[in-house]
A and B are shown apart, each in its own frame.
Chain A
Amino acid sequence: SQTIHQWPATLVQPVGSPLSLECTVEGTSNPNLYWYRQAAGRGLQLLFYSVGIGQISSEVPQNLSASRPQDRQFILSSKKLLLSDSGFYLCAWSLQLFGTGETQYFGPGTRLLVL
């Protein structure tokens, strides 16, 4: 069966510091991968998605970036964190099966607090 991991689970960082959040998927090949941010326990904002190694689509211009160095690894980064980067970051994966709606499955999330 497939599993998705995120780490760290919780992170407290000072403003201006760098960020690296990691997401890995097990038990599947060539998944679509997604990064979302959830602020204040409500709506989800899609940040990035990837359909393959090195292929990143950015949804919102900001100081965050994403990379996919391996098939099942997705990394969210920042060179300098802002206070507004605080939130709950969720990684998700889906299979690339045309016509099935590509159900997304979510990781446990990383809670980031920027002080």
Chain B
Amino acid sequence: AQSVAQPEDQVNVAEGNPLTVKCTYSVSGNPYLFWYVQYPNRGLQFLLKYITGDNLVKGSYGFEAEFNKSQTSFHLKKPSALVSDSALYFCAVRDSYSSASKIIFGSGTRLSIRP
């Protein structure tokens, strides 16, 4: 069975500081990992994904995520936060062994960047 956990409901960061949003996962096979962002009253926007290869994945809006197989983690990072980064962030996983065409989403982490 596949699962994903976002241990923090909320992350607060000052503008200009680095940010990290945590994600851990559990799969039977190899993981396909995703990060999405949601602004108020909008659909989810795809940020980045890890399929295979380089453990550091770069995505939209200056975000990046690091795949760590030993810690089963895929934390989202940005070197310098912007107020406009304030939003709800979702981590998601799909097990490569799964025949079903679906991914599992975490519960979401609300990121708040203060000026």
Chain A interface (Cβ < 8 Å from any Cβ of B): 32, 34, 41-44, 46, 49, 51, 57, 59, 88, 90, 92, 94, 96, 99-109, 111
Please determine whether A43 and B107 come into contact, CB atoms closer than 8 angstroms: yes
CA distance A105 to B41 in the complex (A): 16
How many Å lie between the Cα of A106 and that of B100 in the bound state?
A: 19
Q: Binding site of B, secondary structure by majority: helix, strand, loop or mixed?
A: loop
Known: A90-B44, A111-B41. A100 touches B51 (CB 8 A): yes
Residue B43 interfacial (CB < 8 Å):
yes
C-alpha gap A106/B1 in the complex (Å): 24
Query: Is the CB–CB distance between A42 and B34 below 8 Å?
Result: no
Q: Tell me if B45 counts as interface (CB < 8 A to partner A).
A: yes
Closest chain A CB from B57 CB (angstroms): 12
Bound Cα distance from A16 to B110, whole angstroms: 34
Known contacts A42-B108, A44-B90, A49-B102; A108/B51 CB under 8 A? no
Partner of A109, one of B41, B103, B107: B41
In this complex, which of A92, A96, A106, A107 has the most chain B Cβ atoms within 10 angstroms of its Cβ?
Answer: A106
- Kindly list chain B residues whose C-beta atoms are within 8 Å of the C-beta of A108: 42-43
- Assuming the A-B contacts A100-B51, A103-B34, are A94 and B43 also in contact, with contact meaning beta carbons closer than 8 angstroms in the complex? no
Give the distance in Å from the alpha carbon of A102 to the alpha carbon of B41 in the complex: 24
Question: A99 contacts which chain B residues (CB < 8 A)?
Answer: 51, 96
Q: Which residues of A contact B40 (CB under 8 A)?
A: 41
CB distance from B54 to the nearest CB of A (A): 15
By beta carbon, the residue of chain B nearest A88 is B41
A102 to B32 CA separation, bound complex (whole angstroms): 9
Contact between B101 and A94, CB atoms less than 8 A apart:
yes
Neighbouring B residues of A94 by C-beta, 8 Å: 101
